[in-house]
Amino acid sequence: MTDATTRSAVTSSSQGSLSALLPYWQVTFASFLGWFLDAFDQTTLMFTLPDIAHDFGCTIADLGAVLMGQSIGRAVGNTGWGWLADRYGRKPAFMLGVIWFAVFSALTGLSHHFYVLMAVQFMFGIGFGGEWTASAALLMESVPAWTRPMASALMMSGYEVGYFVAAGVQALVLPHYGWRVLFFIGLAPAALALFIRIGVPESPVWLRNREARLAQGRKEHAPPQLRPKFRLTGAAFQAIAFMSFLEFQKAAIYTYYPTILRGSHHLTQQAVFWPVTLYCIGSFSGKVFCGWLAERFGELRVMLSALVVVMLAIWPFLSAPGWTMLLAAAFVMGAAASGIFALVPHYLAQRFPSDTRSFGMGLGYALGSIGQGMAQKFVPMFGPTALTLPLSAEIFVLGTSLVTGAIALIRPKELPGEHMEGDETAS
């Protein structure tokens, strides 16, 4: 959606985007909850890295290879589920992704060998990436055009809520029952698949395009082309590059945050809860606020402003000498760094046509996952001690923030998904 289109939509509508999304609450809630459960399972691994390293007799840098394996799995899931969602529907792909990542989260708690853990987390990553790809495409194609920035923000805010809940659960469970029990809890999300099956309708855009292809096949007395060919346009290439550097930046910010709090700042497991809580509160409010701002001023201005705040806040976020500054920086960093991600589903959806949107969004996120995996491996490699780990993360965040902003400033000649089928009647 262009800035002019956004302002026009907001001006012509007498209702806020939140109230306009109420008729679509099932798909919005399911997308939010899917990302919430993904986050709970993924961040549980981050909170337990020191404990797993102790039990397995390895270092945090060694476990970076496990995180890299998970990221490669996410890349496989993003692209594979994108293909499934384009061909068989967004809804069944969404359900399958939820069940998949829940099962392999539970299996993580049964791992007793480093390479088994790596293999299980690779499989977990497949479901993690697949769930996001299908749900993001389903949500963006189900809600009115002018509400997509806010719908995008609400969906992505599920990650911070999941992160917050994981922080609370680990503070209660980890000291008494160990890290394995936390992963067994991760089996619960499978129940979401039942809600999706009963309460969430299929994407109207996908149904319309499938019917058009079937009708074209009947007219030409030929088999319908159920899988249109994906094209790597300038907009698609921008989406892939943007996500690669943004995912690297975000991973450098938060992957080792609990480890830095426990190692560099010498916080207990219970004390880690407070800065993480403020980070999550900032993230949730920042995502909703950025969605609201993007409807009025355009997503580019919001993204660039948030990147500037990230660069200014990264040092106090990781290295503040005082408790008060550390807490304040956690809130600010959460709002800025996560605020950018609030707009990712909408940003990606605009850069791919409807026929291949899910695959394209999945591909963008997939290669972004590789960027995340590289950060998870490189940050501890260049900062192997408790004193140098924060510095390594800060340098990587500054560099990738600059590159991400430069990529975002590029305006492709065409945005294939700027206007989706049915937009003229949906809004």
Model pLDDT, residue 344: 87
Q: Do 325 and 275 form a contact (C-beta atoms < 8 A)?
A: no
Distance CA 312, CA 328 (A): 13
Choice between 227 and 256, residue whose per-residue pLDDT is larger: 256
Model pLDDT, residue 330: 96
Task: Show Cβ contacts of residue 381 under 8 Å, excluding neighbours closer than 6 positions.
Answer: 61, 64
Q: Which domains does the chain have, with CATH numbers?
A: 22-209 (1.20.1250.20), 234-409 (1.20.1250.20)
- Residue 176 has a CB neighbour count (10 Å cut-off) of 7
- Tokens representing residue 170 in the block: 């680990």
Distance CA 367, CA 74 (A): 9
Model pLDDT, residue 217: 66
Distance CA 218, CA 382 (A): 60
pLDDT band (50, 70, 90) for residue 13: very low
Model pLDDT, residue 228: 64
Q: Do 371 and 248 form a contact (C-beta atoms < 8 A)?
A: yes
**How far is CA 209 from each of CA 88, 203, 212, 355, 356, rounded to the nearest angstrom?**
12, 10, 5, 7, 11
Whether the predicted pLDDT of 3 surpasses 80? no
Model pLDDT, residue 1: 43
pLDDT band (50, 70, 90) for residue 122: very high
Model pLDDT, residue 276: 86
Choice between 373 and 291, residue whose per-residue pLDDT is larger: 291
Q: What percent of the chain has pLDDT over 90?
A: 33
- Locate all alpha helices (DSSP H) within 146-232, ordered by sequence: 148-177, 179-185, 192-199, 204-220
Instruction: Name the one residue in this structure whose structure tokens are 């970076």.
Output: 64
pLDDT band (50, 70, 90) for residue 172: confident
Model pLDDT, residue 401: 97
Q: Do 294 and 339 form a contact (C-beta atoms < 8 A)?
A: no
Instruction: Name the one residue in this structure whose structure tokens are 């916080």.
Output: 267
Chain segment 370-406, per-residue pLDDT in tens: 787 788 788 888 877 766 889 999 999 999 999 999 9
Among 76-90, 96-110, 228-242, 358-372, the minimum mean pLDDT is found in 358-372
